[in-house]
Amino acid sequence: MRILSGIQPSGSLHLGNYFGMMKKMIDYQEQGELFCFIANYHAMTSVSDGKALATGTLEAAANFLALGMDPERSTFWVQSDVPEVQELAWFLSNFTPMGLLERCHSYKDKIAKGIAANHGLFAYPVLMSADILLFNSDKVPVGKDQKQHVEVTRDIAIKVNNEYGEIFTVPEPDIDDDVATVPGLDGQKMSKSYGNTIDLFQDEKNLRKQIMRIVTDPTPVEDPKDPDNCNVFQIYRLFLDKQQQEALRQRYLAGGLGYGEVKQELFETVRDYFTPFTERRNALLEDKDTLRKTLEMGAQKARYAASKVMRKVRKKSGIAY
C-alpha cells in the first residue's frame, strides 16, 4: 500500500500539524510505502517573499526529518524538485469541471476572508490532485479540512480513467477521527491563521506562555470540572494513553484541580516530548549541505516513481507523438 501526503512549508509547526498529520505520517513508515513531500508550490498561494519560502522549505524538511522521517526507507522530497507534477496538473485541468473547484470550501473560505481570488488559489486542488495521482497513492492521510480536496482528486481520477482506461489509482482519504481537529488555545481549530497555536520548536519560556494562554472557564478550583468542554484537557489528552486520559478525567470530575496546575503539567509534558526533536532539528539546520543531499536523493526516488505514471499519461493523451 502506498501512502502519500504533503505539508506546506509556510510558518512554524504547531500541535495541530503534528497530531493531525506529521505523527501519523511518521508512524505510517511501519505500515506501508510512504511518500511524503514539502508542498512549496502550494505555499506560493500564500507566501510571496522568496527568501521566506526558500528558508521555510529547508526548515520544513529539517522538521520532518527531526520528527522521525527516514529518508532511506521512505520517499521524502520537495514538491518543486519533481517538475512532472506541473505537467500532470495541466493534464488534469482538462478533466476538471469549473463547478468542482467552485464548490471547494477551502477556496470559498479564503475568498470570504478577503484573500484575492487568483488562479493559483482556484487551481490549488488540481495541483494537489497531481501530487496524489502522480505516485499512484492508495491512501492520503490529511486533516478534515483537506478531505474535500481528496474527494476532488477521486472525481478527477475517475473521469480520466473513464476516458483512457485505468491509468490512475483512485485514492482514499484517511482521517483519524480521534485527532481529526486539534483545538487551539481558544477552542477553535488550531491554525496559524487564527493565532491560537502551540508551536513545536520554540524555547521553554514561550512554550509556557502559550500554554498559560489556553482559554478556560471560571469554575472555582474546588468545583468539579467538565473535561470534555475543557481546552486544556482536549490538548493534554493527545499526549496520554487511554488509561492516563481516564485518570486525568477523574481528577477533573473530583474537583480540587486548578487550571493553573493542569496547565503546568501540560507544559512539562509538551516540553519533555519535543526537546529531543528540537535538538535534532537544530543540528540538521546547521549542516545544510547534507540536508540538501538528502532532499536530492528523495527527489530522484520520487522522479523515478513519477516517470512510470507520466509515460502512460503522455502516451494516452497524445502528448508523446
Handedness of CA 299, 302, 308, 311 (dihedral sign): negative
Dihedral pair phi/psi, residue 216, rounded to 5°: -130, 165
Task: Indicate which of ligand ADP, ligand TRP, none lies near residue 71 (CB less than 5 to 8 Å, by partner kind).
Answer: none
| Nine cell digits for residue 45 | 498561494
146 is an interface residue for ligand ADP by CB under 6 A: yes
Binding-site member from 3, 6, 13, 66 for ligand TRP (CB under 6 A): 6
Q: By CB under 6 A, which span of 5-13, 197-205, 210-218, 222-230 interacts with ligand TRP?
A: 5-13
State yes or no: is 189 an active-site residue.
yes
- The nearest distance, CB 23 to ligand ADP, in angstroms, is 10
Collapse the DSSP code of 91 into the 3-class scheme (helix H, G, I; strand E, B; otherwise coil) and give the result.
helix
Binding to ligand ADP (CB under 6 A): which residues in 181-220? 181-182, 189-193
Answer yes or no whether residue 110 interacts with ligand ADP by CB under 6 A.
Answer: no
76, 39 Cβ separation under 8 angstroms = no
Distance CA 137, CA 235 (A): 31
Q: How far apart are CA 110 and CA 115, in angstroms?
A: 6
Q: 237 touches which of ligand TRP, ligand ADP, none (CB within 5 to 8 A by kind)?
A: none
| Range 94-99, long-range pairs (CB < 8 A, 24+ positions) | 95/156, 95/159, 95/160, 95/163, 96/126, 96/129, 96/152, 96/156
Residue among 67, 51, 17, 6 at smallest CA distance from 193? 17
- Of 236, 233, 231, nearest to 253 by C-alpha is 233
When CB distances are held under 5 to 8 angstroms depending on the partner's kind, the choice from ligand ADP, ligand TRP, none that residue 128 binds is ligand TRP
Q: With CB cut-offs between 5 and 8 Å by kind, which of ligand ADP, ligand TRP, none does residue 192 bind?
A: ligand ADP
Of 71 and 173, CB closest to ligand TRP = 173
Catalytic hit among 24, 110, 139, 225: 110
Residues that bind ligand TRP (CB under 6 A): 4-8, 39, 42, 128, 131-132, 140, 142, 146
Mind telling me the catalytic residues?
A: 110, 189, 192
